[in-house]
Each structure stands twice: as C-alpha cells, then as structure tokens.
C-alpha cells in the first residue's frame, strides 16, 4: 500500500499535469471498487476544471470548479497513470510503486483532458473515489482521522498526551490512523529505528525524551522519503523518468539478518510480526 510519501509524489505529479485543466470526458469501466462509484459520477465531474489538487494523509483531494471535491484513496494496489498525447515515453505511473507502465487490465476509471488521459488502475479494487459537495462535509470526513505528521500540532505535547497511559505497543500506535494519519508499515519501522525504540515497547513506558524523538524522526524520515521520491521496492520510475529511491536508504525494513547500520553497533536486524505485519528492528540499538 502506498504510504504518505508515495501519495505526496502522486499529488505532485497531478499538480504538474492536470491542475487548471478541464475534464473533457469521463470513462467508467468498472464501478465496483471498494465502494461503488456514484451512479452520477461521470456527469458531476465531466466538463469541470480542476482548481486544485492536495493531499491529506493517504488521500488525494481534487477540487473542482463546480465546488465539489473528489477524494481518491489508492487502497492496496491503486495507481494513477498519465498518458500524454504525442509522447513516446512509455512510462506512465505518476508515482514509484507497482508497474511503471499502464497495465492492460484493471483500468477502471479514465479522465480525458485536452492533451492527456489520467487512468486509475487497481487490480485488487481496494481503492475508491468519494464525492463531497460541501467544504463542511469534506472537513467532517478528514476529522475522522488523526492529525498529519507535518501538522504543527503533531508535537511532543500531543504525543505524550495520547500515549503516556496507553499499554498498546508503540508500533501499533504509529499505524493507528486515529492517532497520526499517513504512516504505514515501512515508515513505522524506520521511524522507530531512528528513535532507538523497540517496536514492542508499551507506549506508556516511553520517556519524555523518546516522545520527543518520535516527533522529530517521524517528520525527518517522511521528509527524506519525499525528497528521494518515495519508496519503490522494485525501483521503478515515474512519468518524468525519475526514480523513487528511498528504498536504497532503508535502515531496517526488509533487512532481516543484516548488520545494523549505526556506527559502532554490532546488532543484527531482526524480523518479528506485530498485528500480522512484518516489523524490523535492531536487536541492540532499539531498547
């Protein structure tokens, strides 16, 4: 599943390519996504101009000229592909995960613009589109989730107030979208490694110093990933030909049995399963 940095890269690609562009045609090949597309989906977004594209957590928010908001979640396997007219570059993926080329199957929704087409592909169909007709309804939807890691309110005081009396392990809390929204499995392991915190630790056992480190390294790890183009295990490239390279800098994720990369540490990276998810950590560094 794409995490916050990967969705941010998709958003940046959309801003570059479709912001201020008019949707000339809407083609729906399959309404049966995680939630069925509204019956009137085509009619309400056709002929509308895209005023803005932004991101909240793992959601892409497309603001339309008719004052509607089209919200997209990519689910487990969703990708957006940009096909430009008269462009021989076969690389179409707007981000860096899954196929860099437009697959032949599972192209469920297509938006046609003057000089390009935007195609939503999703083999597993866990992604979905939602339409909100007022700013208030969009805010209500967003308020169902925790604050974003880059929000100024995500600070030491917030983290301590939420976790100081909780017995659930800290790894699970980083993945809890009600606590902080946008962090997924890869980055949770990386954040805890940088913070020198064992993922199995109870949240209530963390010190004030560790609460502060969680905030600092959450922002730093996610920022670094965005700067490096997001994580792409298979090292694909996007429509601009740029590689997502953060996977080259993983300190613990998918490094089971390898030496810890911290200077002077003789630890070995271990893999355990927490809440049915692979979790990687250093058996010495992370206490």
DSSP label at 260?
Answer: P
From the list 2, 5, 149, 199, the catalytic residue is 2
3 annotated active-site: yes
From the list 11, 55, 58, 117, the catalytic residue is 58
58 annotated active-site: yes
Q: How far is CA 264 from CA 103, 219, 251, 282, 285, in A?
A: 46, 25, 15, 13, 10
First to last CA, the chain: 28
| Phi-psi map region of 262: left, alpha, beta (phi>0 left; psi -120 to 50 alpha) | beta
From the list 19, 22, 201, 277, the catalytic residue is 277
From the list 3, 6, 63, 194, the catalytic residue is 3
CA distance 57 to 71: 12
CA distance 110 to 17: 15
User: 192-223 b/e with 16+ CB inside 10 Å = b?
Assistant: bbbbbbbbebebeebeeebbbbbbebbbebbe
2 annotated active-site: yes
| Phi-psi map region of 24: left, alpha, beta (phi>0 left; psi -120 to 50 alpha) | alpha
136 annotated active-site: no
Residues annotated as catalytic are: 2-3, 58, 277
């Amino acid at each position: 599943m794409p995490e916050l940095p990967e969705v941010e890269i998709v958003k940046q690609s959309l801003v570059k390519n479709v912001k201020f562009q008019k949707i000339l045609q809407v083609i729906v090949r399959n309404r049966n996504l995680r939630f069925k597309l509204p019956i009137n989906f085509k009619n309400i977004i056709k002929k509308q101009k895209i005023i803005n594209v932004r991101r909240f957590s793992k959601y892409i928010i497309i603001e339309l000229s008719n004052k509607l908001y089209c919200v997209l979640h990519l689910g487990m396997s969703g990708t957006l592909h940009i096909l430009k007219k008269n462009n021989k570059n076969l690389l179409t993926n707007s981000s860096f995960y899954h196929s860099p080329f437009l697959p032949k199957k599972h192209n469920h929704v297509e938006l046609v613009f003057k000089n390009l087409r935007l195609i939503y592909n999703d083999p597993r169909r866990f992604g979905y589109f939602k339409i909100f007709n007022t700013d208030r309804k969009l805010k209500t939807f967003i308020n169902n989730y925790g604050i974003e890691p880059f929000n100024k309110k995500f600070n030491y005081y917030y983290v301590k107030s939420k976790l100081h009396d909780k017995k659930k392990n800290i790894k699970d809390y980083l993945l809890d979208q009600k606590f902080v929204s946008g962090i997924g499995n890869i980055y949770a392991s990386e954040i805890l490694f940088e913070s020198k915190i064992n993922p199995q630790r109870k949240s209530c056992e963390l010190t004030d110093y560790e609460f502060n480190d969680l905030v600092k390294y959450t922002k730093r790890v996610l920022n670094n990933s965005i700067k490096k183009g997001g994580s792409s295990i298979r090292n694909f490239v996007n429509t601009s030909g740029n590689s997502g390279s953060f996977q080259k800098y993983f300190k613990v994720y998918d490094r089971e049995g390898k030496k810890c990369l911290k200077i002077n540490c003789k630890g070995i990276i271990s893999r355990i399963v927490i809440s049915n998810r692979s979790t990687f950590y250093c058996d010495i560094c992370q206490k």
